Structure 1
Amino acid sequence: MKNTSSAAAGSGTAFGVLGAISFSHFLNDTIQSLILAIYPLFKTEFGLNFAQIGLITLVFQCTASLLQPVVGYYTDRRPKPYSLALGMGCTLAGLLTLSLASHFPVVLLAAALIGSGSAVFHPESARVARMASGGRHGLAQSIFQVGGNAGAATGPLLAAWIILPYGQRSIALFSLVALLAMIVLIGVGRWYRQHQRRPARTPASSGQSLPRARIVQTLAVLLTLIFSKFFYMASINSYLIFYLMHQYGLDTQTAQYHLFYFLASVAAGALLGGPIGDRIGRKRVIWISILGIAPFTLALPYAGPAVSVVLTMIIGFMLASAFPAILVYAQELFPARIGTVSGLFFGLAFGLAGIGAAVLGQLADAWGIVAVYRLCSFLPLLGLFAVFLPDLRHPAPAPGVPETAKAG
């Protein structure tokens, strides 16, 4: 596909398609977050330690991260409109395997299958969102990503209501969620096939004129920011439940609710990050959303359970706005390689989260979970590197204003 990501530009934002892909993202990430939310169940059933818990996340995240850039690169050259539904079928198989697993290696296999489904889903969905954006790329990515973040917030609740009370076999019920997503994605695939041959118009981006050395420097800064964001997110996603249970004596179900509050705030933040970036520029959003949470992360390890809820919600809301801005920023840096760039950055997000979970699990076994939270509280200070990001383009014009018009 040659720059078909901008095919919808100038013809209006296709909100129906964005809604469908966001809903599919909701279903996909609901399934994915079940793995994180049922760690206490598997820890008890299989007698796992924190390092093995981290290994599950590592297998799941790294399967997705290694395959996503490959999928994105391949589909840049050979579009596969129905690959989204096929990828969700892989997720369905992973769920059924997880529900029947009787040994730890089988759990790892199931995690790899679900990760493979995610590897297909994310780069292609990001491409569809850009195709349907009508030039409002930040808004489109936020709509797409808020579905995923809402799903990530829903997963722990469903785990608390269904899987923890009824056990491992109940995971099979969520294969119906994957089946529903497949049906929706078949419809998205039809739209994708109809629009992929339309004449493309790639919006101007100063990223195309940057010297090679500056592009390499910019990618290094983006990688540093992704590292900061997703290592910190791994400390929350994988270990917040255990931290709350250890530090404050909360029961598993109550700790699940705390994780839900954090993930719900992440969903809200993701919805705003993209359109704000359209207006004020991606660099400013990235700067504020990563470095701006440092005072709250530094205070979190010393707060009580009630205050920690407020702090984690603020952290989740602000931190979530970073990724839509970073992703669109990277797409503007390489506007002719939307699938590859989307796959690379989603892959980095998944891979760094997986590595972070494994490393932090090892540290938690060695030093204790409280020490890990104190160490991770300094990660957002890496947001200082955002000062080295060049301004790639002006904020997007208001609807109805030609995209080439420059805002002041």
Structure 2
Amino acid sequence: MKNNSTTAAPKPDLPAAEQRNTQQATIYRILLAVSFVHLFNDSIQAVIPAIFPILKDNLLLSFAQIGWISFALNVTSSVIQPVIGYAADRKPRPILLPLGMCCTFAGVFLLAYANNYILVLFSVVLVGFGSAAFHPEGMRVAHMAAGLRKGLSQSIFQVGGNAGQSLGPMLTKWIFIPFGQIGALGFTIVAAAGIAVQTYVARWYREMLDSGYTFRKKAAAKLMDPARRKSIRNATIILVFLVFVRSWYGASIGSYYAFYLMDKYRMSLDSAQVYIFMYLAAGAVGTFFGGPLADRFGRRNLILFSMVGTVPFALALPFVSHFWAAVLLLIGGFVLLSSFSVTVIYAQMLYPGNIGTVSGLITGLAFGLGGIGSLVIGNLIDVIGITKVFVACGFLPLLGLLALLLPGDNKLEEWAAE
């Protein structure tokens, strides 16, 4: 009897105990659920570049106009994420998870029937807003469900998104080539599934908040040494710029390389899409293994290697045969995107507790700036030709040398522990 009464005693403290246990344990059912929604969300985003060849033919669009569509998607889905993330860090809003997917549902439904350029832009903006609502809160859920395994949680969460993006080229091959623009209607089913899963995740998220779960550290910023504050600010600028460059190069492959293959090798559209899929799928694998590799070799070292290590493959890509192009895309995609989750973890260590803001800054704003790169690339292709543009883009990863200016892992861990 004595043992029974001892076991029952902690019940009044259940919310605090639940919070401590959740922060220690990894909640895989939630982590996997939010990763699958990330896959749903980003696969629907991948519909936009996948449908570019169809829209180009149906609406007689220029490469510059395609660039504007890509720009609209990236700006609405990414650039406003820091604002949403900042607000969520101060007042979490679980309801944004299913509401964001409802917005995506409306956008992809409208895209299937859009018969003019303005309507296409509007539908893309709706998809973008849905994605912007998901990512900061989704990142916070992944962090909450991670327990002590933050690196693993980021790899699982981010690989869902990158796997979704990798489906884009195959969507063109399997759906948009045989069915045309109306094929986008099928993705309303994916969005509906996302709404259901998001409702489940949002309910768990709300229960955890009601039990007393908190993200923020109190009063740390006010006591920060000015020299350290400056170092963190400089590191943030460098990190955002590196993600911007990575996204810019990724946009050149994801949005335009299929056109390059069709122009240089006279490939059919469906064959060209397989190459893009290989690049993005290899990137998804790289994203998953990036976390463990960073744990072994260091976060800054992996960020540096992922950028600079891509250079020889990027420079050689415009000059090789189609067989070697496939090989270079596989290796280059793996190497370049191996730092995808690592940059997020690095930023979270710079700003402990500000999970939503960091998500918006790294996976949002920096990726959205890559949309500007896509717009510039589209305009340059119209002016100087697609071959010269791809030769020039091969030099972009060289800017990864700026990672040498980032604080090392020891300094980063010292800051995060204080």
TM-score (norm 1): 0.91
Q: Distance in 1 between the 2:244 and 2:81 partners?
A: 17
Q: Any idea what the Cα deviations from partners look like across 1:11-40, whole Å, max 9, x if unmatched?
A: 221111111111111111111111101111
DSSP-derived class of the 1:167 partner: helix
Superposition deviation, residue 393 in structure 1: 4.7
Letter of the structure 2 residue corresponding to residue 13 of structure 1: T
What is the distance in 2 between the residues matched to 1:7 and 1:101? 50
Are the counterparts in 2 of residues 138 and 273 from structure 1 also a CA contact under 8 Å?
Answer: no
Q: Distance in 1 between matches of 2:20 and 2:83?
A: 23
Equivalent residue for 1:198? 212
Structure richer in helix, relative to its length: 2
Tell me the amino acid that sits aligned with residue 44 of structure 2: I
2:248 is matched with 231
Quote the residue 1:3 is aligned against: none
Matched, 1:386 2:403: yes
- Write the distance in 1 (CA, Å) between the matches of 2:367 and 2:249: 13
Q: In the superposition, relative to structure 1, how do residues 92 and 7 fare at CA in structure 2: closer, same or farther (>3 Å)?
A: farther
Q: CA deviation at 1:235?
A: 0.4
- The 1-side partners of 2:147 and 2:216 are apart by 11
Distance in 1, matches of 2:333 and 2:267, equals 21
Give the AA of the match of 2:351: F
- Structure 1 stretches of at least 4 aligned residues deviating more than 3 Å after TM superposition: 6-10, 197-203, 392-396
2:96 alignment counterpart = 83
Instruction: Give a deviation string over 1:182-232, Cα, whole Å, max 9, x none.
Output: 1011111111112224354779x99x7662221221112112211220110
Q: Which moved more, 1:122-131 or 1:387-396?
A: 387-396
Q: What letter corresponds to residue 139 of structure 1 in structure 2?
A: L
The counterpart of 1:314, out of the listed 312, 331, 337, is 331
Confirm whether residue 158 of structure 1 aligns to residue 178 of structure 2: no
Question: Which residue, out of 91, 94, 99, partners 2:112?
Answer: 99
Relative distance call for 1:56 and 1:155 in structure 2 (3 A) is same
Alignment of 1:28-67 (within 5 A): 28-67=41-80
Decide which of 120, 141, 150 is 2:154's aligned counterpart.
141
The alpha-carbon deviation at position 8 of structure 1 amounts to: 6.5
Distance of 1:315 and 1:88 partners within structure 2: 32
Distance 2:21 2:151 in 1: 14
Report SS of the residue matched to 2:361: helix
Secondary structure of the 2:167 match is helix
* TM-score of the aligned structures, taking structure 2 as reference length: 0.89
In the alignment, structure 1 residue 355 sits paired with structure 2 residue 369: no
For residues 255 and 267 of structure 1, the distance between their equivalents in structure 2, rounded to whole angstroms, comes to: 19
Q: Is 121-130 or 157-166 further displaced after alignment?
A: 157-166
CA contact under 8 A between 1:27 and 1:151: conserved in structure 2? yes
User: 2 CA distance for matches of 1:71 and 1:263?
Assistant: 27
Distance 1:201 1:252, change over 3 A: closer
- Aligned pair count reads 393
The answer for unaligned runs of 5 or more in structure 1 is 1-5, 397-402
Any residues of structure 2 matched to 1:283-322 within 5 Å, and which?
283-322=300-339
1:279 CA displacement: 4.0
Amino acid corresponding to residue 104 of structure 1 in structure 2? Y
Q: Contact 2:50/2:168 (CA < 8 Å) preserved in 1?
A: yes
The reply on whether 1:244 has 2:257 as its aligned counterpart is no
Q: Retained in 2: the 8 A contact 1:50–1:364?
A: yes
Q: 1:188 aligns with which of 197, 201, 210?
A: 201
In 2, Cα distance between equivalents of 1:246 and 1:386? 35
* Cα distance, 1:280 vs structure 2: 3.6
Residue 281 (structure 1) shift: 2.8
| Whole-Å separation in 2 of the counterparts to 1:99 and 1:200 | 42
Once superposed, what is the RMSD of the aligned Cα atoms?
Answer: 2.3
Shift of 1:347: 1.9
Aligned residues of 2:84 and 2:360 also touching (Cα < 8 A): yes
